[in-house]
Amino acid sequence: MKKSLKWLIIAAIVGVGGYLLFTKVIKKEEPQMVMEPTQAISFPVTQETITSSVQVKGKSQYQEETLVYAPYASKVTAWKVENAGQVKKGDVLFTLDQSTLQNEIATTEAAIRKAQLEGELNSFVSQQDAETAAPIGTEAERLKALAAQETARMNEELNQVNAGIQERELADKRNKLKTAIYHAPATGIFLYDSSKERPQMVTDNQYIGKIVDLSKLEFIAQVGEQDIFRIKKGMKVQVKMTAMKNLTLKGEVTEVSKFATTTSGQNSAANQVPQFEVVISLQPDEHLIGGLSLSGEIETLRKEKATVVSSIAVMHEGDLAYVMLDKGNEQYVRQEIKVGMETTDKTEVLSGLKAGDKVVIQ
């Protein structure tokens, strides 16, 4: 009995010693996480110029293009200009064969002269017949004479109408003959119709090419319905070229379309998005040519000396807007404000703050 008690006491001592050894030597205390106080991010309230803008994309095109058409059907006897050649107003572009048109003019002149002579002859014969005719006695003879006079009058009117038509045709052909040596109607670069080579035969009013003024280009942009009413004629535009991102050009809105075009979205007519065309004039630049991809920023509104704060610091609660105003010594109070213009990074403050204040977010 005494021996058993002894062993129990020894076991208890060993257990207590082992526990103490485990807690002090083997078991290490886990590090405690220290929570640092949250740092407040401060934003100054400043007075500066704030602007609102619309981003647009489109392409450049020549502002003045004068189309060139063949004045009449004929053979081209000579070309005086090369493709993409510089021409001045009045320079000869090409010459057309005149022989066929001259023959038509001569034929028409002969037909008109023949009709005039026939009319004069018929008038003379009628006059002679009237002078030598026997007195009309019966009613039938009077009716016959009246019918003859009416027929002669109608023939005379018809001849006058035909003569008028022939005179107009003759005048038209004479005017066309004056264009057989075709002069450039404008100054610029002459470009042939891209679909074919220089024609050696042309048809009446055939499109041949165009003369473009390289010094006058414009930016044709497409704008969605959510932005079209913000854009007005005369607004300034900062323009950039996709091919030269570091080059900035200046432009001005010259025309805003009032008619929408549609671009297809997915596969349904319901997904068609209305777009409006905006025309922007561009200042000349040596790198600017027609057909370039351009992007622009149209300044739609500008306010000088506006009180502004970072939009990140402005919080909204229903129709109310507020900020956390820094009162100093880490004291922050809620301050309701009235906002004006809002951009992606700046918000105009109409009341509730003044320049020099600081606001925070926590």
CA 175-176-178 angle, to 5 degrees, is 70
Please tell me whether the overall predicted TM-score, pTM, comes out greater than 0.85 for this model: no
State how far the Cα of 287 lies from the Cα of 285, in Å rounded to an integer: 5
- Per-residue model confidence (pLDDT) at position 30: 47
Domain parsing of the chain, residue ranges: 42-51+303-361, 54-63+214-302, 65-96+182-213, 98-179
> Which amino acid is it at 354?
K
Rounded mean pLDDT, 279-303: 90
Determine the pLDDT at residue 160. Answer: 76
Confidence bin at 245 (pLDDT 50/70/90): confident
Helix axes 139-178, 99-132, angle to 10 degrees: 160
**Which tokens in the block code for residue 156?**
């005379």
Cα angle value 357/360/362 (rounded, 5°): 165
Tokens at residue 271, please?
Answer: 């997904």
The whole-number pLDDT of residue 349 equals 94
Structure tokens at 112: 């008109």
Contact at 8 Å (CB) between 249 and 241?
A: yes
Task: Give SS3 for 137.
Answer: coil
Pick the CATH number of 42-51+303-361 from 2.40.420.20, 3.30.428.10, 3.40.190.10, 2.40.50.140: 2.40.420.20
| Mean pLDDT score, 18-34 | 50
Classify domain 65-96+182-213 by CATH number: 2.40.50.100
Cα(243)–Cα(238) distance, integer angstroms: 16
Res. 130: pLDDT tops 50: yes
Give pLDDT tens digits for 308-362: 999 999 999 998 999 999 988 888 999 999 999 888 889 999 999 999 999 999 7
| Residue of 169 and 69 predicted with greater confidence | 69
> pLDDT-derived band of residue 39, with 50, 70 and 90 as boundaries?
confident
Q: Does domain 54-63+214-302 have CATH number 2.40.30.170?
A: yes
Question: Per-residue b/e over 275-288, b at no fewer than 16 CB within 10 Å?
Answer: bbbbbbbbeeeeeb
Q: Select from 57, 66, 67 the least CA-distant residue to 220.
A: 57
Looking at per-residue confidence, does 275 or 126 come out higher? 275
With a cut of 80, say whether residue 147 has pLDDT above it.
Answer: no
Residue type, 255: E
Residue 139: pLDDT over 90? no
The two structure tokens encoding residue 4? 């058993």
CB 312 within 8 A of CB 280: no
Element containing residue 177 per DSSP (H, E): helix 139-178
| pLDDT at residue 15, as a whole number | 58
User: Does residue 32 carry a pLDDT above 60?
Assistant: no
The DSSP output letter for 243 is: S
